[in-house]
Structure 1
C-alpha cells in the first residue's frame, strides 16, 4: 500500500486533554500499567451499583471506568498507567470525542442556549432561522443520512425516522414492513380477501376500533412472517427480540411478537426456498387446509412474508462476515417475491471501509436501521414504503427532538465524511478506515504467525475486527492486566471470538500500541498454557 505509516506517526499534532491534574495526549501517549494493576472495581463500589440498578449484563469482573479519568483517542488515563480501549463503548464511539468539530458544535449550542433543548419533533416543526447559528435540526441530519443512502443504493429516495436507540430503530423497521405488507395486501386483494384469510386462520377482530373516517377492522393478530439468519442480534425490545437468536437468556420467558423463519448466515438459497410456499394468497385460500398445515410446518405463503432482516456483518452473534454473494442472492430472491429487505447497520455503519456495509455485499435494502455511530436511532425507508403511511402509524416522545444528540450525531457523521485531517495527509476518516484495514490485517497476520496456538483466526473489514482464542474469558482478563479493555462477542465455545474495534480516526501508533499489548497478552497466555 502506498501510504507511509511511519511518517504519519512522526507528524502527529494533538492538544493535551486535561482533567484536574490528569493530562493525556494521544499523539504522545504510550500505554503502560503498574505491576499488579487491576481494572476491577472495589467490592464496596460494586455493591453500591448493584443495589441501585437492575442487573442486566453488568458482570462483577467488568472494568471500572472512572469519569474523572480523561481519554484521548484510544488511550485512557488511569492512576496506575495509560490504558487502551479496544471496544469503544460497544461500538458507540466513531471519532475521538476531543475532535475540534465536537468542540465547535458544543460552543454553538451553548451560545444559542440550545444545549439542553428537548422538543417533540413528532408534534412540532423544528427549524433554525438564524443562518449564523450553527445549530442543526432533525431535518438537517435526516437529509445528510438520506443523501448517503440515495448515493449508495438503487431503491431510494429514502426518508428518515428518528428514535433513541438501535433497538428502537429496528422496531420502527419492523412496523414499517408490517404496515407496508398490510397496505399491499389490501391494495392488491381487497378487504374481503383479508377477512377470509383471518377467518381461515382463526384470527378474530379485536374490538370495534372503527372511527368516523376509519372503517378498517383491527384484528387481534396479523399473520406476517419475517426471515432472519441464525445467530442474529437485533436488540432486546420484544419486536427486535423476536428476530434475535444468540443466547437463551435473551429469549427465555418472553413471548414472540411474530413468526420468524431461520436459516444459516452462510447457507444456501434452497434452505430459504424450502420455507416459502410460492403461491399467491388467492391460491392459498383456495386450499385452506393446506395453508394451515404448511404454516404449522414452517412453509409460508409468499404474500405473508413481511421482510427479510439481516445484519451485513453479524454483530453480537460473533462478528461473522458473510459469503460474498449469499446475502445479495437472498435479497434478490425476496425482492422478486415482493418482500422487503431490512438491513440492521447498528454496529456496521461507517466502520467497514464503506458508509454502509451492505455495499460490500451487493445488498440494496428497502429499510435500514442504524444507531450507535449516529448517536440517535435512525430508520431509513424508501418513498415507496413511506408514501402510503397514515398519520399515527408510529411515534415517540422526542423523535429527534433532543437537540444535543441530533447535533452530536450530525457532527460525527459529517466529520467522518468530510474532515480532511492533516495527521492523515488530508485523507478523510472514511478513507482512513480503508487505509488502516490493510495495517490492522498486517498486524494480525504477524501476531497469528507468532502465536498460532493462541490466535486461532481473525477477521474484519475497515476498523471492525474479531479474533478467536481458546479460553477467551481468561484471555480477556490477561489483556486487562496488560492494560487493554476487550469485550467478548458471540457464544462461548472451546474457541470463541473477541471483538476489537478501532476509531475511524485511529492512528497507526494506536494500532501499534494495541498489538503490542495483544503480544504481551498472547505471551502470557502461552506461558500459562505451558504450565
Structure 2
C-alpha cells in the first residue's frame, strides 16, 4: 500500500534516538525492570495529542497516559490554574489545614455523578487507593466482609486491588498470598461466547450462576459490595449489555449489597458521556474515579451516597496527600473543559472515526477478529484467524511496538494480551487522528 503523508509525525531519528538511548542506559542502571514502558522514547514537551521527545521527534499520542489525558497534554487553563495555585500554597494537608478547592471539587463531583440522591466525596491519590477506600467504606457501612469482582476486571496493583483483579500475568504472578474475602463472578465476553449462543442467553447463564454462587461460595448477607468496571479496561474494552449490568444492580439492591462502579478508566467523557454508568442507566452506591479527572495530576476520588460515605468515623479514611490542592484546581478546570468545550460529545465522533477504520481493516485483514468500542474507548482484537479466533499475542505486541517506532503511541490490553486499544486525548484533531490511523494501517499491512 502507498505510504501515508506525514504532516504531524516527524521522526528526525530512529526511535529511540541517541539522547533517549543514553537515558535508557541510565534507567536500566538505576530503575528496577518492573515498571513497563510502552514507548522507547523520553518526552521533552507535549501539547494536546502531540508529544516531542528529547531527540526532537514529534509523535501522535493514542495512549493518553493510559487514559489519564482526556483533556489533552498541558491544557492551557489547567496549567494556569496549577501555576496560580502553587504560588499560594502547595499542600498543607487537608487533615491539618483545610482549603476551599477540596470542597469545590467535592461539590462538583456530587453534582455531575449519576444519581439524584444526596452524595458526598473525598479524595486520594490514585485509582487503586480509591478502590481500596471504597471497599473500606462499603464494609463499614454494611458490617459485611466479602467483596465480589468480575473476571477480566482490573482494579489496581495494591494487595487488595490486586486480589480483586483477574489477570494473573503480569499483575498477580508471584505476589501472593492475596487478600481474603474476595470473590469473582463471570462477566460476559460476547465475542468469545459458546458457538450458537445468543448474547441474551450468555447474560442469562451468568446471571443465574450468581444464585449458585450465593449457595456455593458466600451468602449474600455476608457480601458488602460488588465492584464492576462498567466497561472493562485492561481486560480488553469488554462492554456488557445494559441488561446484564442492570440485572446485577438489581441483585445488589435485593440483597442489600452495595454496587461500586470503578470508573477510573471510563470516567470523564471517555465513552461519550461524563460517566459510563450513565450509558447503562444505573446509579451506583459508590463510584471510584482517577486518571482523566485532572489532566495527569495525581488525584482520585470516591463519591457515594451520603449515608454510606458517612459510615467511617473521623480519622478512619484519608491520607496525607489525598486531595492535593494542585489536583483539585486542575480537576475543576478539566471538568469545565469537558462540559464547555464539547469534549464529551467529541468522544463519539472520535469513536466513529476509529471504529470505521478498524472495521475496514477487519474486512481486509484476517488477523482482526473483533472491533468494539463505546465513544472514544475503541479496540480491535488480534487473532491468528477469524474462523478460529485464537488470540495472537505475539502479533499484537509487534503491531504495538512498530506503531510506537513509527511515531504513534499505542497500547495493548486484554486477558490474552491480544487487544489493541485507543485512549487518545479528546482534543485530538481529525487530521491528527487520521494520520495516526494511517500509520496503524501501514503497520498491520506490513506485518501481516
Please, what TM-score do these two structures have when normalized by structure 2?
Answer: 0.85
Deviations 1:150-179 (Å, cap 9, x if unpaired)? xx324x221111000000000110000110
Does the 8 A contact of 1:227 with 1:309 survive in 2?
yes
Deviations 1:351-407 (Å, cap 9, x if unpaired)? 00111101112322100001001131101110121234321221211331x221211
1:301 paired residue among 199, 219, 238: 219
Deviations 1:66-123 (Å, cap 9, x if unpaired)? 332x32322223546432212111111121234332243245335xx22x51111123
* Corresponding residue of 1:324: 242
Does the 8 A contact of 1:91 with 1:501 survive in 2?
yes
Secondary structure of the corresponding residue to residue 492 of structure 1:
coil
The Cα shift of 1:147 comes to 0.2
Partners of 2:46 and 2:80 lie apart in 1 by: 19
Partners of 1:172 and 1:144 lie apart in 2 by: 20
Secondary structure of the corresponding residue to residue 276 of structure 1:
helix
Secondary structure of the corresponding residue to residue 399 of structure 1:
coil
Instruction: Give matches, 1:344-493, under 5 Å.
Output: 344-350=262-268, 351-375=270-294, 376-400=299-323, 402-419=324-341, 428-449=342-363, 451-469=364-382, 470=392, 471-492=395-416
Does the 8 A contact of 1:122 with 1:398 survive in 2?
no
The Cα shift of 1:144 comes to 0.9
- Residue 161 to residue 103, structure 1, CA distance change in 2 (3 Å): closer
* Corresponding residue of 2:3: none
Does the 8 A contact of 1:228 with 1:260 survive in 2?
yes
* Corresponding residue of 1:126: 99
Partners of 2:362 and 2:9 lie apart in 1 by: 22
Please say which of residues 82-91 and 41-50 is displaced more in the overlay.
41-50
Instruction: Give matches, 1:27-66, under 5 Å.
Output: 29-33=7-11, 37-39=14-16, 44-58=22-36, 62-66=38-42
2:127 paired residue among 166, 173, 184: 166
* Corresponding residue of 1:250: 171
* Corresponding residue of 1:153: 115
Partners of 1:88 and 1:521 lie apart in 2 by: 20
Secondary structure of the corresponding residue to residue 231 of structure 2:
coil
Partners of 2:278 and 2:57 lie apart in 1 by: 41
Partners of 2:348 and 2:302 lie apart in 1 by: 26
Runs of at least 4 residues off by over 6 Å: none
* Corresponding residue of 2:200: none
Partners of 2:405 and 2:40 lie apart in 1 by: 13
Partners of 1:334 and 1:147 lie apart in 2 by: 24
* Corresponding residue of 2:156: 235
* Corresponding residue of 1:74: 49
Does the 8 A contact of 2:263 with 2:276 survive in 1?
yes
* Corresponding residue of 1:338: 256
* Corresponding residue of 1:275: 213
- Residue 310 to residue 163, structure 1, CA distance change in 2 (3 Å): same
1:144 aligns with 2:108: yes
Deviations 1:260-280 (Å, cap 9, x if unpaired)? 222211152111111114xxx
Does the 8 A contact of 2:17 with 2:41 survive in 1?
no
- Residue 472 to residue 382, structure 1, CA distance change in 2 (3 Å): same
Does the 8 A contact of 1:307 with 1:342 survive in 2?
yes
* Corresponding residue of 2:199: none
Deviations 1:162-216 (Å, cap 9, x if unpaired)? 000000000110000110111xxxxxxxxxxxxxxxxxxxxxxxxxxxxxxxxxx
* Corresponding residue of 1:261: 183
Partners of 1:355 and 1:236 lie apart in 2 by: 25
Partners of 2:90 and 2:401 lie apart in 1 by: 42
The Cα shift of 1:224 comes to 1.6
Structure 1, unpaired ranges of 5+: 1-27, 128-136, 183-222, 278-296, 420-427, 527-531
Does the 8 A contact of 1:96 with 1:505 survive in 2?
yes
Partners of 2:17 and 2:213 lie apart in 1 by: 48
Deviations 1:417-451 (Å, cap 9, x if unpaired)? 123xxxxxxxx1112112332232222223323x3
RMSD over aligned Cα atoms? 2.2
Instruction: State which structure, 1 or 2, has the greater radius of gyration over its C-alpha atoms.
Output: 1
Partners of 1:144 and 1:329 lie apart in 2 by: 29
State the structure with bigger RCO (CA 8 A, min sep 6), 1 or 2.
2
Partners of 2:246 and 2:346 lie apart in 1 by: 27
The Cα shift of 1:43 comes to 5.8
User: Aligned residue pairs: how many?
Assistant: 408
Partners of 1:141 and 1:394 lie apart in 2 by: 18
- Residue 320 to residue 240, structure 1, CA distance change in 2 (3 Å): same
Structure 2, unpaired ranges of 5+: 1-5, 189-202, 383-391
